[in-house]
Amino acid sequence: RNSLSAEVNDLRSQLTVANDHLLTMQQNQRAQQHEDEVNKQRVGALITYFEGMLTQEVADSNATITSVYEKMKGFRTRMLSELQREKRHASSLQERLDSLKNITNDHQRLLEETNQLRKRLTTEEAKAQSIQTRLDDTSSQLSGCQLKLKETEIRLRSMEENSNEAAASLQQNSIDMER
């Protein structure tokens, strides 16, 4: 009977130790689940933050590009109008020069006016050339803006891929933790 009593006491103490071990494991599991939930919330917040940041970056880039494009388009239109006006003016001066050549009454006056008109024509052509140069510069600036847009799109794609990789890694870690 004493040996049975001792065996029962031994089994009770083993049961108490096993029960304590089970409670410790349950507490550890609850703590791990809580930590996993906190990590999931952090990951969700980070993903939301990065998505917002990417969306804002895209919106800002698009707004800037649209603004620059519209300004360049307006500038180009103005320059083309001015160039056309200068060409019409140069054409008008050329017609006047041609008509003066046909007048033979006052040869000296014709020569003086011809010289004056040639000077004005040269000035107008220089203005037209200057406008053409500015138009070429504007086209170059527009090309630079397009390159910056492409670079921004590449950076945004890279940031999005990094965000997706981080989310996948955190999800895999969460799955590994659950196992």
Write out pLDDT tens, residues 100-120: 777 666 677 667 888 998 999
**How confident is the model at residue 168, as a pLDDT?**
83
User: How far apart (Å, rounded) are the C-alpha atoms in residues 122 and 126?
Assistant: 6
Residues 6+ apart with CB under 8 A from 173: 39
Residues 6+ apart with CB under 8 A from 144: none
User: How far apart (Å, rounded) are the C-alpha atoms in residues 17 and 56?
Assistant: 58
Helices (H), the chain: 2-102, 107-178
Distances (CA, A) of 115 to 106, 108, 119, 127, 129: 14, 11, 6, 18, 21
**How confident is the model at residue 98, as a pLDDT?**
79
Q: Are 140 and 75 in contact (CB under 8 A)?
A: no
Residues 6+ apart with CB under 8 A from 76: 135, 138, 139
Instruction: Specify the residue for token string 């050339």.
Output: 129
52-82, pLDDT tens digit by residue?
999 999 999 999 999 999 999 999 999 999 9
Question: Using only C-alpha atoms, what is the Rg of the chain?
Answer: 42
The token duo for 62 is: 């698009």
Length of the chain: 179
